[in-house]
Structure 1
């Protein structure tokens, strides 16, 4: 590492909107470079010492500018709702990203609760994650069941259930596509009804019939 390489890195960060991937072992190389300059300063004569001091100041300014610009980009990415950690971050930068993302999300929820008067509202990110997990689990169990159920669903018992929360669209074992939302009362094949009740997103009514 030297002042020219630091300038190249700073130039890229200044002139691109995206976060630049730093050279491998960036921190170690900068540390070694600064240590080398400090040692050189101690051993140099008065005239040379002033030049080395200038180089140290310039190096520090470039490093500080690089860090400042990168943190600005990281905060912007985190506050935009980006769910995955961008590539090319240092370990400490990843902590900043996750911390900012968490605080922005919590702040959003607090403001939403303050404005609407609602308490304990779930975040959009949490709701989306739960919907995805429910869809995967439902599909997985349905595939497992479908493997042992004949192609025809004649004679499948139907249950009436009340939906407790919005859930993703899914295909029943009868081949039908079900689009349901909170408070819907719907008749489902027994297998699908049991899966939803087991997941806590639906409750059964006593009414049921056979086809």
Structure 2
């Protein structure tokens, strides 16, 4: 490891939008290289020419390694976002396989530390996306039902032809009685055509909900 190699690695990274393949222990080697420079620097007189050159090399190595790391981190974040994104038309099983496949194909271009980071980022993005979609679904369901709520206090209201339900399990993509596709996750609050909701409730996959005095409650 030396400054010339660091410059070459940085140039390659800057010239491509994709992650460039590097050795698995790249960062450990960079760390060992800089520690060796620091050791040599401590062994020579401070005012000597050798001290000047070693100090300059150490500063350059730190600067180049920082730029290299930041450039690769940006690409890793983008890769994680693409990997975590699932196509709406794909079934849950296919989406999961596709995500794992993307991670496998990226493995060769990453160091060990980077690959571990990528896996964690993907899981964080997937989890965050699911939480946001869940909140959006709950808000949508609330507005749809609350918008038709009777003004009479305490009266239970439902929209004709539409049922509000809470899912009990993850349900792979299926076609509803209205011709629309659905992918449902456990604990999702969802609005479904009444016929579709009855089928899920009868199968033990969901529980019917009603709006009572502004709160969602399970239908007895």
TM-score bracket, normalised by the shorter chain, equals: 0.5 to 0.7
**Aligned residue runs from structure 1 range 43-122, under 5 A:** 43-45=43-45, 46-47=47-48, 48-81=50-83, 83=99, 84-85=102-103, 86=106, 87-117=108-138
Q: Which runs of 4+ in 1 moved over 4 A?
A: 118-123
Cα distance in 2 for residues equivalent to 1:11 and 1:93: 19
Moved more, 11-20 or 35-44: 35-44
Residue 6 of structure 1 is matched in structure 2 by 6
Residue 148 of structure 1 is matched in structure 2 by none
Check the 8 A contact 1:109/1:121 in 2, yes or no: no
**Gaps in structure 1 of 5+ consecutive residues:** 132-164, 168-181, 184-199, 202-211
Q: 1:103 to 1:44 in 2, by over 3 A?
A: same
Check the 8 A contact 2:26/2:111 in 1, yes or no: no
Q: CA deviation at 1:24?
A: 5.4
Across the two proteins, how many residue pairs are aligned to each other?
134
Q: CA deviation at 1:20?
A: 0.7
Structure of higher RCO (CA pairs closer than 8 Å, 6+ residues apart): 2
**Gaps in structure 2 of 5+ consecutive residues:** 85-98, 142-165, 175-180, 184-194, 197-203, 206-220
Determine whether 1:26 maps to 2:26: yes
Q: CA deviation at 1:23?
A: 3.1
Check the 8 A contact 1:19/1:73 in 2, yes or no: yes
Cα distance in 2 for residues equivalent to 1:38 and 1:78: 36
Q: 1:127 to 1:65 in 2, by over 3 A?
A: farther
Q: 1:95 to 1:28 in 2, by over 3 A?
A: closer
TM-score by length of 2: 0.52
Query: Please, what is the CA RMSD of the aligned residues?
Result: 3.3
